[in-house]
Amino acid sequence: MRNNIDLNEVLLRKLEKPVHINYICDYILRVGIDETRKRIKKLVSEGILEESKYGKEYYVRAKRNG
């Protein structure tokens, strides 16, 4: 099984466009929904991901200012 750092790298590469949490869970991270929500919540709190303004539970890589 892949470690946490590898999973975060895979996730961030895939989220250039908004992706629904179910797709992230089933096809990108391949972990349970609870683990996916926990991981996304942490990345959102760190400002790395953000919920898309176009749909509930769609996530995208946060835009960096600068």
Q: pLDDT band for position 1 (50/70/90)?
A: very low
Amino acid at 6: D
Span of 2-16, 21-35, 40-54 with lowest mean pLDDT:
2-16
Q: Which helix (H) or strand (E) holds 33?
A: helix 33-45
* Distance (Å) of CA 61 to CA 10, 29, 33, 55: 12, 15, 19, 14
How much is the CA Rg of the chain, to the nearest whole Å? 11
Q: What is the mean pLDDT of residues 11-21?
A: 88
Q: CB-based contacts of 65: which residues, under 8 Å, 6+ apart?
A: none
For residue 14, what pLDDT is reported? 83
Structure tokens of 60?
């995208």
- Section 16-35 average pLDDT: 94
